[in-house]
Amino acid sequence: MRTAGIDIGSRTIKLVTIEEGEIITSLLADTTHDPIEQCKRLMDQTCFDRILATGYGRHFFETHFNVSTVTEIKAFARGAKTIFPQCRTILDIGGQDTKAIALNEKGGVTKFEMNDRCAAGTGIFLEVIAKTLGYNLEEFGKEPLKAQNRIQINSMCTVFAQSEVTSLLAKGQRREDIALGIHMAILNRTLSLLKRVSTAEEIVLAGGVARDPCFKYLLEEALGKKIKVPQDPQMVGAYGAAIIAQESGRLFSY
């Protein structure tokens, strides 16, 4: 039995298929202006017997294909716990939201917090600021590690932060220092959310921002512990949905 999980996010769509617990395919595409068409394109690239949708676009998917869905919270909990059995806290920073999820020993969700009303500190925020500083996303995650000073960034609104960065560049501040200041501002905002949930025991960092080495370094520094990052952190939700589909007795088709 081959099952699939599809995570329709604000920036990207992720699809994972598994068979007997092993990942068979792992696909990603931009969400674009037509997420349903992108979903079709991904599904046409693989085969499966069951599929379960998650992510912010799961209800559109459910309506269009008449299949069941699962919340992002449950999908990420199942995926992270499978990858890291000792996981007790998940921090997922995606394209436009941030989620902190606490788990019990069996992987059940005990508490969660989500910031989905503001894009500050999320993937799209990083993209805008990186471009303003003349970096691609890979450079933006590495160059701040060379910084000499930690500049304070006062605004986390994307528009105002971009303006503040432009002003700092005009004053001759080094790009690396400004980029580190941005990362510190994101860290402080994220820690506030995370501490409302849990910082105990093993923490898993997921989502696109998990690929940013500077953010991971600063988070580990602030918490005084190593953070676990999956090999493919953007696929955690889709993987979790695929596992839940595998465990369900209902056949999902489209």
3-state secondary structure of 103: strand
Question: Tell me: the pLDDT tens digits for 66-87?
Answer: 999 999 999 999 999 999 999 9
* Region label for 55, one of left (φ > 0), alpha (ψ between -120 and 50) or beta (otherwise): left
Contact in structure between 239 and 7 (CB atoms under 8 Å): no
Per-residue pLDDT tens over the stretch 201-248: 999 999 999 999 999 999 999 999 999 999 999 999 999 999 999 988
Are 176 and 183 a contacting pair, CB within 8 Å? Answer: no
pLDDT at 157: 83
- Label residue 119 by pLDDT band (50, 70, 90): low
Cα 25 to Cα 16, 17, 99, 215, distances in angstroms: 6, 5, 26, 28
* Measured torsion, CA atoms of residues 215, 217, 221, 227, in degrees rounded to the nearest 10: 90
Q: Where does CATH 3.30.420.40 sit in the chain?
A: 1-84+232-254, 86-229
Confidence of residue 113 (pLDDT cuts 50, 70, 90): very high
Is 154 a residue whose pLDDT tops 60? Answer: yes
**How many Å apart are CA 199 and CA 54, to the nearest integer?**
25
b/e map of 131-155 (b: 16 or more CB within 10 Å)?
ebbebebeebbebbeebeeebebee
State the CATH architecture for 1-84+232-254: 2-Layer Sandwich (3.30)
Is 68 in a helix, a strand, or coil? coil
Other CB atoms closer than 10 Å to residue 62's CB: what's the count? 14
Handedness of CA 220, 178, 209, 190 (dihedral sign): positive
What CATH fold (topology level) applies to the domain 86-229? Nucleotidyltransferase; domain 5 (3.30.420)
DSSP 228: B
Residue 252, pLDDT above cutoff 60: no
Residues near 160 by beta carbon (within 8 Å), at least 6 away in sequence:
none
Rounded Cα distance, 91 and 199, in Å? 10
Percent of the chain whose pLDDT exceeds 70? 96
